[in-house]
Amino acid sequence: MAVYEVSIPVYFARFYLVSYPQQLEEDPRLKWGPDGDLAVSARDGLGLNSVTSEHHAHVRLELFDSAADVPQELLSRQPRYSFTSSSNTIALVDTENHPALEVPAPAAGTISCAVACEGREDTYNARHHEQRENIRDIERWRIALWPEQTP
């Protein structure tokens, strides 16, 4: 397992995990799921839905070699998301496509993902308070990735 951590700027209540550089056959920036979902799957990446805008979110990215290596509490998390890794690199990017983190892709093909997030209410309250400048890392994301096994 490889672990990466980064703080990413969040604008328009979204950021993305994508194959990088992006091929954009199905752009996750244009795809929205039901309200309240943490993420939405697109062919080329995930759209990650923050609770609010104009802050920095902390993201912990955990890359596993297979589903057998993923802790059960993450493996059982529903809904599960996926995207297609079409390059050797995946990246966390903001809405302006600036990468905050670039890492080696787990494998070519379909990547399964489990997404968890804490601190959403505290982030929302901090952002909508009078002193709303420099809100950093209150919203904490944990994203586990592993290559989907083909039968």
Kindly report, residue by residue over 76-135, the tens digit of the pLDDT.
888 889 998 888 899 999 998 899 999 998 878 899 999 999 999 999 888 887 666 778
First vs last Cα of the chain: how many Å apart? 23
Higher pLDDT, 101 or 41: 101
Domain count, the chain: 1
- pLDDT for the residue 78: 82
138: left (phi > 0), else alpha (psi -120 to 50), else beta? alpha
Q: Which strands make up the sheet holding 55-63, listed edge to edge? A: 2-10, 55-63, 136-147, 109-118, 81-85
Q: Give the dihedral sign, CA 17/19/20/21.
A: negative
| Prediction pTM value | 0.88
- pLDDT for the residue 28: 63
Domain boundaries, position 45: 2-147
Higher pLDDT, 43 or 60: 60
- Residue 22 sits in a domain whose CATH number is 2.60.34.30
Q: What are phi and psi of 66, to 5 degrees?
A: -160, 170
Confidence of residue 32 (pLDDT cuts 50, 70, 90): low
